[in-house]
C-alpha cells in the first residue's frame, strides 16, 4: 500500500516540473537577403528512353453491370396490392 502512495506522490510531483525559459538568447535575422544566381551553370544531358515505349492505348470497354430502367410500374402495382 505504501508503494502505491509513493508512486502516486512521485507522479504528482513529476507532473508539475517544467523547463526553465531561456530568455537571454534571441535570434536576429537580417532585414534582407540577396542571393546571386548569375554565376551558376547547370550542365548535363537529357536522357530519353530508347525506342517508343509509350504506345497509344485503346479505351477500355466495360459491359454495364447496372441496367437502367425507365419505369417502376411493376413495383408500384405490387405495393398497391400490399396496401389493400
For residues 37 and 67, what is the distance between their CA atoms, to the nearest angstrom?
A: 63
pLDDT at 68: 83
For residues 50 and 53, what is the distance between their CA atoms, to the nearest angstrom?
A: 8
pLDDT digits over 26-46, tens only?
788 889 988 887 887 878 888
| Structure-block grid coordinates of residue 20 | 526553465
Q: Which residue has the higher pLDDT, 10 or 3?
A: 3
pLDDT digits over 4-14, tens only?
888 887 777 76
Percentages helix, strand, coil for the chain (3-state, rounded to 5) are 30, 0, 70
Amino acid at each position: 500500500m505504501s508503494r502505491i502512495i509513493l508512486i502516486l506522490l512521485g507522479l504528482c510531483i513529476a507532473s508539475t516540473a517544467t523547463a526553465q525559459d531561456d530568455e537571454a538568447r534571441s535570434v536576429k535575422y537580417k532585414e534582407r537577403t540577396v542571393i546571386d544566381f548569375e554565376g551558376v551553370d547547370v550542365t548535363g544531358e537529357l536522357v530519353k528512353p530508347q525506342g517508343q515505349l509509350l504506345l497509344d492505348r485503346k479505351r477500355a470497354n466495360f459491359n454495364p453491370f447496372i441496367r437502367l430502367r425507365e419505369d417502376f410500374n411493376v413495383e408500384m402495382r405490387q405495393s398497391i396490392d400490399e396496401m389493400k
